[in-house]
Amino acid sequence: MRRPSQSQYCQQIEFPTKLLYFPRVRFGSISLVLSACLAQPLAGQATDSLALARRVVAAASLAAKEYALGVSPAGGQIVQPEEVDEAKLFIQQAQFDVPGLPLTARESTARTLARISQLLETLAPPDTINRVTDSLVASITAAAGGPRIIEPLPARPPSLERGAVVYRERCAACHGETGRGDGPKAKSLKGPPPANLTDRAVMGNKSLLDIFRRIAIGTPGTGMPEFAEDVSTEDRWAVAAYVQAMQYGGSATAAIFDAVRHQIDSALSKRSEQLAVDAYMTFEQVETSIRAKNPGLASELEGNFGWLRTRTVKADQTERHTIRERLLADLERAERVVADRPSGASLFVNSFFLLVREGFEAILIVAALMTFLAKAGAPERRRDVARGAWIAVAASLLTWVLVELLLQVTSGQREMIEGVTMLLAAAVLFYVSYWLLSKIAAAKWTAFVHGKMQSALSSGSGAALSAVAFLAVYREGFETILFYKALFTSAGSSGVSVVAGIAAGAVGLVAVYLLINQLGLRVAMKPFFAVTGAMLYYMAFVFAGKGIAELQGAQLIPLTVIDGAPRIPVLGIYPTLESLLVQGLLLALAVAAAIWAMRPKVRPSGAEGEGGGDLLRSQ
């Protein structure tokens, strides 16, 4: 039989009103029983008092946030009436909970809330509301036992998987499965419709703590109930993290970094040491992951956060700007380290098209050389050309091995070498991606190979013919190595997708070879090179952004964060001045190349047909 709890035991004690005889009971025994009965209510009062303190802090903080959205920065003018009304309701809710606060904070809290209510009515500037609210939160926090008591952050990062489960059980009926506010109960709710949780305009200024508070105490005047009693603290943090990640496509890491940036800006603009501490506490959720991959960067971030905490109040404008720039630059590097995940499908497609394009071009080179020999009446010399081509393939593979060995020997400069490799690959990819733009150089290269073939035939040397074939094929092989090295660098730990693309591309090349040689299929060269050229330009654009990012990671070039700029790692787009300048240059060159390609063409009267003399890139 289970032993009854203390409260159950107390409830079982009966005191009959009509009892003539009292048995002898020692006073000490009665004292023990009464102490046991009274202990739980007193403990419950302390727990309730703490819960109410948390509610008041949450309501007042949310009121200040909502009010700032509803009035102009200077106050005196309402821009979003519903936000101001919501702020007033939050303050009314906080005033209702005042009687249950710790006695030391009760009277001062009532006065401060009354003052905030009056300021809301007179449309005071949001900064004034924030200062009064901050002092209220500090007072309640001190009375309750400190920040870790009044607003305990989770001991470990909240689980998105658990958050998804809680969301489906508690939130999806109103907010919808995808968070767009279109759940089955949304239309039947009284008051404002459920918020669109995927809209950055709605959710962008809400930190993880803001969302946690709203889940705990609900939203007065709407259909949003409070969940503090029904949902455990751990589950509330989990669903808060899940909701915050919705606007970032489900990435909790991106949500955390964005929240830290907002908190840094708020701490510096308000000169608030408490907000600086909040920013660091939020950063701690990703610090372990950063330290595991880049300990030096994690230590640098810790030092800069310490600078923020100790100087945010006293620093002048110049120092605050320096603190902000250093933290934002370090956070950008850190987010690249822990959050960037290349798309496996994109890597596979890029790898496939890269091998097909370069492999097919190599096949065309060898075929053109063989055709030249046939026209020159020396078909028996084809074996020398084939030997040179196969040696070029082997030399290309050896070059790949040597490049990898170089990176192993110079591991300390790996980021620099990889960054330079990606930028070089971007430049070459851009060059070869435009058939019309590179046609003049291709014609010169063709003329060079043509002359070497004639000289080799005249000399009668098989080694000379093999050397010409080697030179032509190795040029394509070296380009391919450069491109794939950049692609593998971009892939990181997702290199299996690149390997799969290579395998699929090899199968595709064999199929094309068989179709051309066995079935006589004719390949439309211009569409083929146009499509693959577009893919190569896309890769050049991505490599340019990622190459700059690698050099910034090695701290070889500056990193200047641009507020509001997009961050799309799959396209190599990062919110930094340096990377966007290089990619902007590529876009400008692409436009110039397109204009150049569409210009009216005047053919010289004595010119040969375009395809007649081009060994390498047949039309």
> pLDDT tens, 472-496?
788 778 878 888 888 887 777 777 8
Instruction: Reply yes or no on whether the pLDDT at 1 is more than 90.
Output: no
pLDDT digits (tens, 9 = 90+) for 549-559: 888 887 888 89
**pLDDT at residue 243, rounded to an integer:** 87
Cα separation, 43 vs 49, in Å, equals 10
Instruction: Return the bridge partners of 576, or none.
Output: 561
Which is more confidently placed, 284 or 140?
140
CB 68 within 8 Å of CB 120:
no
Query: Which CATH architecture describes the domain 160-339?
Result: Orthogonal Bundle (1.10)
Cα Rg for the chain, rounded, in angstroms? 35
Residues contacting residue 251 through CB under 8 Å, at least 6 positions apart: 245, 339
What tens digit of pLDDT does each residue of 258-285 get?
Answer: 888 888 988 898 888 877 877 887 787 7
What pLDDT is recorded for position 435?
A: 52
d(CA 511, CA 61): 66
The residue ranges of every structural domain in the chain are 42-150, 160-339, 344-597
Per residue in 305-320, pLDDT (tens digit) is 889 988 888 889 999 9
Alpha-carbon distance 105 to 80, whole Å?
33
pTM summary value: 0.56
Q: In the chain, what is the straight-line distance between the N-terminal and C-terminal CA atoms, in Å?
A: 91
Sign of CA dihedral 215, 220, 223, 229: positive
The C-alpha torsion from 468 through 470 and 473 to 479, rounded to 10°, is -120
Reference 178, options 194, 165, 196, 192; nearest CA is 196
Mean pLDDT of the chain: 77
Q: Looking up tokens 């950008």, which residue turns up?
A: 332
Other CB atoms within 10 Å distance of the CB of residue 398: 11
Give the DSSP per-residue string, 47-102: HHHHHHHHHHHHHHHHHHHHHHHHB-TTSS-BS-HHHHHHHHHHHHHHHHHGGGS-
